[in-house]
A and B are shown apart, each in its own frame.
Chain A
Amino acid sequence: MAGPAWRWRSRTQLAAALRSVRALQLQVPRAEPLQAALYVHWPYCRKRCSYCNFNKYIPRGLDEAAMRSCLTQEAQTLIQLSQVRRISSVFFGGGTPSLASPHTIAAVLETVSRCAHLAADAEITLEANPTSAGASRLAGFQAAGVNRLSIGVQSLDAAELRLLGRDHTAEEALGTLEEAKKLFPGRTSVDLIFGLPDQSVASWARGLEELLQQCDDHVSLYQLTLERGTSLFQQVQQGSLPAPKQEVVAEMYESAREVLRDAGFRQYEVSNFARNGALSTHNLSYWQGSQYIGIGPGAHGRFVPQAHGQSLREARIQTLEPDNWMKEVVAFGHGTRKRTVLSQLELLEEVLVLGLRMDVGLTHQHWLQFAPGMSLWDVFGTSEEVKELEAQGLLVLDTSEESHSLLRRQPVMQSPSSRWR
C-alpha cells in the first residue's frame, strides 16, 4: 500500500477528550451569532433503494401544493423562532428533492428571503437523482435559485447499481453529470458508495478513475453502512450476500484517497473531497458547529429558539411521517416533534466530534467561540488520553505561542506498535 495511512478515527480521540471536558464542568453561556444554515427535507422517492434507511416515502397521490405550503410555513415559523437575521446556506435533501417541482424550491427560497437575509451568492444545494434531473429540469432548478448540485451517482457499474436498487443506468448518471457541469460549473458534486458485497478493490478504483475523467470539483465517498431494516442488510444477514470485509473496504478507502489526491483533490472532511476550493459551505457549517434549522418531515435542527427567550441551543427533530407532519404544520405552524436542550457541555462535545472530522481540525479561535475563556490547552493540555493519542501519532495538539493553536487528527505514517514485530 503506497502513501501514508490516514486514520479517520475519531471515536477514541473523542472519548478521551470529552472526559477532559467533563472534568472542567463548563458552565459559561455564549451568544449564538444571528445566522443559521437551513436544511429542507423532501421526503419522497420514486423507488426504494436497497441500502437506504432515510426518512423517505413512495408517494401515492402526492399533493405538492400542500407540501409546498407546509414547507414554506414551517420555514417561516422556525426562522422567526430562531430570530436569525441571515440564512447562510440552504440545502435541499431527501428523499429525492429533484422530484419536487422547481416551483416548490423557488417558493421555499422566496419565503427564506422574506424572513431573513439570504445573500445572492449564498450556497443553495439540491440533491439530484440522475433519472429525475434532465437538462430542462436542472435549468428550472437553477432559475428557482439553486446554484449547486449534488448528484447521487453511487456507482458506474451496472451490476452494482442493480444491487443498490438504483433506478438509473451509469450512462444516465454520466449524462446528468454532463448537463449539471454545464449549468453549475465548479459547483457540481457527485456521491459514490463503496464497500459493496463482492466489490473488489480493483473494480472500485477503476470506477472511481472513470468517474474522475468526467466529474467536477467535488466528490463525496461513502462507505456502505448496512442499516437495519434495509433489504441489503437482510440479504447479508441471511447470507445470500457476503458481508464486505473490513480489510478490503479499508484498502478501497486508501486507494480512493490516493487516486483523489493525485487528481488534485483535498480531503477536507472525512467523506468529502474538493479541488479548486469547491468546498460545500453548507456542510462545513455542520462540522464547524454552526446553528442550522431543519424543515420538512424528519428534519433535524440545532438552534437557539431565541423568540422563547432561551439562550441554550436545542436539538430538534420534526415529525417523521409526511401526512402527520403536514397536519401539525397546518395546525401549529411547524411540526417539531422533539426538542432537547443541549447543555454547554453537550454542545462542546458535538463541536469536538464534528471539528475533528475536518482536515483543519479545531482551531483555537473556533474553539473559543464555543468555550469562551478556555483554551484548547486548558481543556486538553493535561489529558492523559490526548497525550497517548499523540504518542500513537493519531492526534496533534499544537499549542505553540506563535501559531494559532489547534487540535486535529494526524495523518499517520505507520502504526507505532509495529515496533513489537
Chain B
Amino acid sequence: MLSLGPRAAAGWVRLQGVRNAAAWLCPPPWLEKSPADAVVFSRPYSSPQKEKPDMSVYPVENVRNFSIIAHVDHGKSTLADRLLEITGTIAKTDQNKQVLDKLQVERERGITVKAQTASLFYNYEGINYLLNLIDTPGHVDFSYEVSRSLSACQGVILVVDANEGIQAQTVANFYLAFEAQLAIIPVINKIDLKNADPERVEKQMEKLFDISKDECIRISAKQGVNVEKVLQKVIEKVPPPSVNIGDPLKALVFDSTFDHYRGVIANIALFGGEVQKGHKIVSAHTKKIYDVNEVGILTPNEQPTHKLYAGQVGYLIAGMKEVTEAQVGDTLYLHKQPVEPLPGFKSAKPMVFAGMYPVDQSEYNNLKSAIEKLTLNDSSVTIHRDSSLALGAGWRLGFLGLLHMDVFNQRLEQEYNASVILTAPTVPYKAVLSSAKLIKEHGKKEITIINPTEFPDKCSVSEYLEPTVLGTIITPDEYIGKILTLCQARRAVQKEMVYIDEHRVMMKYIFPLNEIVVDFYDALKSLSSGYASFDYEDAGYQAADLVKMDILLNGNPVEELGTVVHIDKAYAVGKAMCERLKDVIPRQLFEIAIQAALGNKVIARETVKAYRKNVLAKCYGGDITRKMKLLKRQAEGKKKMRKIGTVEVPKDAFISILKRQSEK
C-alpha cells in the first residue's frame, strides 16, 4: 500500500470530512502501477512523494472534458457516482450517493449547487484516457455556473428520465450545450423503472432536439446498466480539446473555492502550455503576479501532481488570499509570456433581490461574518448594506434566482447556524429618465431601481422597464387549461406551444420576472399535481406601466412597506397588503385606517377599530400592585413598537408582512 506524505494525508482527512474514507483502499490506477510500469513516471524531482502522478502520460488527444446535464432528479449525480466507480476513482460501495454533491443542501434537495470536478482514468482499446467530468449545477438559476463549467468542456451527457421524459430544465440545458457547440450524448436513464417508457422519450428527443433514436443510450445508472457504454461514447464522440502543448501557458479559471489554510483554490482548464510548482504566473485581469505553490487534479479531492498540461483540467494554489483574486473567467499566464486572454465570461447579474436581517440585532456581526464566508464560495451573490426602520441593520442581497436565494438561506442556516429574516423578493426595475436634472444627477439616462424608495416620479420618466424571463413549461396536456389561466393572471405572453408527444405539451411564455418570483412555481406545481415542470431564462427588459404603491397608516406612509407594482396588479396587491396588516396591527386607543395609495389616490382600505377591551375593570387597594406591574409590562412592550404617526406597530407585525411567506 502506498504511504501518503504527511501534508497530503492531512489534506485528505480535512477534505474528506464524513465521506467514505474507504475510497482510498481502492486507489486510482496510477497509484497501483507495478514497479515495472513506474518507468512511465517522469521524476523531475527526487522526492519521496513518488505517488505524485505524472500527467504527461496523457497527451491532449487522450483527454476528454465533459459535463452531465439533466433536469432535477433525472439521475445526474447517480450517473456520476457510477462513472467514478467504473474508473476506479472511488471504491464501489453502497455509500456512494451523490459523491460530487458535497453540500448538505445539495443532498437534501437532490440538486447540485456548486460545480465539482473529477478526473477519471479509463483504459479503452488499449489507450489510457484522462476523462475530466465537470459536474454542473442542475438548475438554470445557476446557468451562470453551468456556462462556466461548459466552457471548459467539449461535450455533455444529456440525461433524461425514462419515466418523466423531457422536462423544462432538460430543454434549457440542451440549448446551453447546443449554443456552446458541444458534442451531445443523449442518455435515457432509469430504464429499470416499472413505468419507464424509453421509446416515448426517444420520440421527444427527436421532436424537440432533432436527436435520432439511434443516438440515445438507454441506461440504468442505479443498476449500472450500459454505463460503461456511456463512457465509451464520451471517448468516441467528444473531441479532445484543441490546444497545443507548445503554446505558452493559457489557463482559464472556471471556478474557485476558498480554503482557510491554503487560501484560494482556483479550478483551471489549460488552453495552452503547462504549469507546475514554482512557476510565476500572472492574472490577466489584475496583472498581479503569483508563485505557484501547488497544482493537481481533482479525484474529486485535490491530488497534487507535478504538472498540468494543455487540455487538462485541475486546480492551482498560488497564494491568492481572496476569491476576488481568482475571478471566474480570468486567464492566467506565465510571467513575461503574456497571451491573449480568453473571452471573459459574462458576469452574473442578480435577478432577484431580498432583504436579509438578523432576527436579533445583537446577531448582526455573526451574521455578517457568516454571509462573508458563504459568499467567498459564491461570488454570484451581490451584497449591499441596507437598513430598515423596522428590522434594523441588514443587507440587500442579489441572487441569480429563487432557488439560488433559497439555497443561500438554507446554507446560512445549516452551515453557519444563522437565523435570519428574509424579506419577500423583489426584482430590479429600470426607469428611462426624461428630466434633464435627474439625468445629470445620475450621470445616465437609464437607472436601475432596487429599492422602492428610489422610484422616480412619473413626470420625470419617459418609460419604466421591468425584467422579463422566457419561461418554459412542460406539462401533461390535461393541465393546459389551468396553466393558461395561471399564466394569464401573471401577465405572461405566450410565445410557443408544441406537443412533444401525444400527451405532453411544451409552452413558452414571456413572463414579467416579478410575477414568478414569489409563488408561481408553487402554484404551478399544485395545480398540476406536481407534473408540470418549469424553467426560465433571462429575456431582457420590457416597458411596463409601473407605479409606486404606498401603505398609509392614518394618512402616514410606512416607508418599509412601499412597493413597486404593475398598475394592473396594484388593486389586488394593495388589498392583500391591507388585509394582512389588519390582522397584525393591534387595536389602539383610536381607529386606524390602513390604506394602499397610488400617489393621492387610495385604492384599498381596511380599518382597525379602536381598542375597547376591559374598559371597566375594578381597581381597589389590593389591585394596585398588579395593575402597576401590568402597566410597566405594557410600557416595555411599547418600546418594541415603531411609531408611524401616532400608530404603534409592533416589530413582529412588520416581520410577518415583510417576511417571505413560507412556500411549504
Contact = CB atoms under 8 A, between A and B. Distances in A.
A18 interface: yes
B246 interface: no
Contact of A294 (B593, B609, B611, B621): B621
B593 A415 contact: no
B590 A14 contact: no
A20 interface: no
Given A220-B618, A315-B625, A12 B589 contact: yes
Given A223-B615, A246-B613, 8 more contacts: A249-B612, A249-B613, A270-B618, A286-B619, A350-B628, A415-B610, A417-B554, A420-B554
A304 B624 CA distance: 17
A421 B620 CA distance: 40
A299 interface: yes
A420 B552 CA distance: 10
Interface in B594-649: 595, 609-622, 624-625, 627-628, 631, 634-635, 638, 646
Given A417-B593, A420-B595, A302 B624 contact: yes
Interface in B246-289: none
Contacts of B614: 223, 225
Nearest to A418: B591
Q: Which DSSP category, helix, strand, loop or mixed, fits chain B's interface?
A: loop
In the A-B complex, the 3 residue pairs with the closest CB atoms: A420-B593, A250-B612, A223-B616
A394 B617 contact: no
B616 A270 contact: yes
A300 B624 contact: yes
A247 B614 CA distance: 11
Given A15-B635, A39-B621, A9 B590 contact: no
B592 interface: yes
A394 B613 CA distance: 16
Contact of B619 (A250, A253, A270, A417): A270
Given A353-B628, A353-B631, A421 B593 contact: yes
B555 interface: yes
Interface string A410-421: 000001111011
A225 B627 CA distance: 13
A416 B617 contact: no
A222 interface: yes
B625 A300 contact: yes
B634 A15 contact: yes
Nearest to A300: B622
Q: Considering residues B590, B595, B616, B620, which has the most beta carbons from chain A within 10 angstroms of its beta carbon?
A: B616
Contacts of B589: 7, 9, 12, 389, 392, 394
Nearest to B613: A246
A354 interface: yes
A249 B612 CA distance: 8
Contacts of B628: 346, 349-350, 353
A354 B612 contact: no
Contacts of A350: 624, 628
16 contacts: A9-B611, A15-B638, A18-B635, A93-B620, A222-B617, A225-B614, A270-B616, A271-B619, A315-B625, A346-B628, A349-B628, A350-B628, A353-B631, A354-B619, A415-B591, A420-B555
A11 B591 contact: no
A14 B616 CA distance: 16
A130 interface: no
B621 A301 contact: yes
A283 B624 CA distance: 12
A292 interface: yes
B612 A300 contact: no
Contacts of A346: 628
A294 B625 CA distance: 13
Contact of B590 (A223, A294, A416): A416
A68 interface: no
Contacts of A299: 621-622
Contacts, number: 111
Q: Considering residues B595, B611, B620, which has the most beta carbons from chain A within 10 angstroms of its beta carbon?
A: B620
Contacts of B609: 247
Interface residues of A, number: 52
Contacts of B615: 7-9, 223, 249-250, 253, 270
Interface in A211-253: 220-223, 225, 246-247, 249-250, 253
Contacts of A420: 554-555, 591, 593, 595
Interface of B: 554-555, 588-593, 595, 609-622, 624-625, 627-628, 631, 634-635, 638, 646
A171 interface: no
A357 interface: yes
A388 interface: yes
Nearest to A14: B631
A354 B628 CA distance: 10
Nearest to B619: A357
B581 to A, nearest CB: 14
A402 to B, nearest CB: 31
A232 B638 CA distance: 31
A221 B616 contact: yes
B620 A283 contact: yes
Q: Considering residues B554, B611, B622, which has the most beta carbons from chain A within 10 angstroms of its beta carbon?
A: B622
Contacts of A353: 624, 627-628, 631
Given A15-B638, A299-B622, A302-B624, A246 B612 contact: yes
Contacts of B638: 15
A28 to B, nearest CB: 21
Nearest to A18: B635
Contacts of B617: 222-223, 225, 270-271
A11 B634 contact: yes
A9 to B, nearest CB: 6
Nearest to A421: B593
A81 B620 CA distance: 23
Contacts of B621: 39, 286, 292, 294, 299-302
Nearest to A283: B620
Contact of A417 (B591, B618, B622, B627): B591
Contacts of A223: 614-617
Interface string A249-273: 1100100000000000000001100
A417 B592 contact: yes
A53 to B, nearest CB: 11
Contacts of A283: 620
Contacts of B591: 415, 417-418, 420
Given A15-B631, A246-B612, A250-B615, A286 B593 contact: no
Contacts of A416: 590
B612 A392 contact: no
B590 A271 contact: no
Interface string A287-315: 10000101000111110000000000001
Contacts of B635: 15, 18-19
A211 to B, nearest CB: 16
Contacts of A287: 619
Nearest to B625: A315
Contacts of A9: 589, 611, 615
A159 B569 CA distance: 54
B646 to A, nearest CB: 6
A267 to B, nearest CB: 10
A150 B595 CA distance: 50
Contacts of A301: 621
Contacts of A221: 616
A233 to B, nearest CB: 14
A18 B589 CA distance: 17
Nearest to A191: B618
Nearest to B635: A15
B624 A417 contact: no
Contacts of A317: 625
A389 B617 CA distance: 21
A359 to B, nearest CB: 14
Nearest to B610: A415
Contacts of B622: 39, 294, 298-300
A417 B590 contact: yes
Nearest to B622: A300
